[in-house]
Each structure stands twice: as structure tokens, then as C-alpha cells.
């Protein structure tokens, strides 16, 4: 799986003019399932993200995890993280998991974060979404379970 994490002070996702998910301080997680991913992959990634020390402690150092701060996660499916830009100027997306598999893994990933005690909101798989956020830092990380 591929994930792009953005530390935020707030984030929301809107579909057809309605906010369907919103968080305060925490992480906006754009997530993409790849063809070889499994539920175990999603679970391992959720556990890693919950423990990553991306939040400031009393001394101002990035020393606290999402679990430790009580922050929330807004999880948004993002198949374009699988873009292949090696040829030409139009990205290809054949490296992304097929929609049925991708949706199941997206839901499983979000459920695993919630099971770890992380307040979790979601976007809507396959929808045309508008995502609003206020970066904190900014702190942005790219995770790929293949590497």
C-alpha cells in the first residue's frame, strides 16, 4: 500500500456539497492499495502509522505518535498515488489495485486504525471528493509497504 501522510490542525472531505468526514488535529492519510496488498498489509501499515512519532512533545521535538496525542485520522482513498509517469505526459494507473480489492483494503485499513483507538473519519471510495486541510508544520511523509 502507498500512503501520503499530512500532519494537520484540521481536515475535512466533502462530497456533493456535504461534509462527510472531518477531524481536528491529527493526520490526513491519502491511501492507495496496490494489486499485491492484503488485509495483513493494511493492518501492518495502520499499526506503523499509529506509532509514527510525528507530533511535538513539550520540548518541541517530533517525539509523539498519533496514539499518544489523541489525534484523529481522516482516511481518503487516492488511487492516483499509483501513477506511472515513466512514459509520456499522461499518467497510467495500471499499478493500482482493482476497485473491488482497493475498496475492501481501504475500508480494512480505516477499521484497523479505529481498532487501535485512533478516532477515524473517511472519505467516500470512488467519489469526486473535495479535501480541505490546514497543514501543521508542514509535515508530510510518503510510505510505501513495497520499499
What CATH number does residue 35 fall under?
3.50.80.10
Q: How many residues does the chain have?
A: 147
Mean pLDDT calculated for residue range 41-55: 97
pLDDT of 116 > 90? The answer is yes
Domain count, the chain: 1
pLDDT of 110 > 90? The answer is yes
Closest Cα to residue 137, out of 62, 31, 78?
62
Answer yes or no: pTM beyond 0.85. yes
Domain residues for the domain of 57 are 2-84+94-138
- Is 120 domain-assigned? yes
Q: What residues act catalytically?
A: 78-80
Task: Supply the mean pLDDT for the chain.
Answer: 96
- Is 145 domain-assigned? no
- Is 79 domain-assigned? yes
pLDDT of 92 > 90? The answer is no
- Contact in structure between 32 and 79 (CB atoms under 8 Å): yes
- Contact in structure between 122 and 109 (CB atoms under 8 Å): no
- Is 146 domain-assigned? no
Mean pLDDT calculated for residue range 54-75: 96
pLDDT of 147 > 80? The answer is no
Amino acid at each position: 500500500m502507498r500512503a501520503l501522510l499530512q500532519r494537520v490542525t484540521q481536515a475535512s472531505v466533502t462530497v456533493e456539497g456535504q461534509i462527510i468526514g472531518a477531524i481536528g488535529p491529527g493526520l490526513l492519510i491519502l491511501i492507495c492499495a496496490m494489486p499485491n496488498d492484503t488485509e495483513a498489509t493494511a493492518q501492518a501499515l495502520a499499526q506503523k502509522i499509529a506509532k509514527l512519532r510525528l507530533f511535538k512533545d513539550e520540548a518541541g521535538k517530533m517525539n509523539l505518535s498519533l496514539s499518544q496525542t489523541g489525534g484523529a485520522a481522516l482516511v481518503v482513498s487516492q488511487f492516483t498515488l499509483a501513477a506511472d509517469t515513466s512514459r509520456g505526459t499522461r499518467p497510467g494507473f495500471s499499478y493500482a489495485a482493482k476497485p473491488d480489492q482497493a475498496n475492501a483494503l481501504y475500508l480494512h485499513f480505516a477499521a484497523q486504525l479505529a481498532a487501535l483507538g485512533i478516532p477515524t473519519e473517511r472519505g467516500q471510495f470512488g467519489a469526486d471528493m473535495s479535501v480541505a486541510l490546514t497543514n501543521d508544520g508542514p509535515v508530510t511523509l510518503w510510505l510505501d509497504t513495497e520499499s
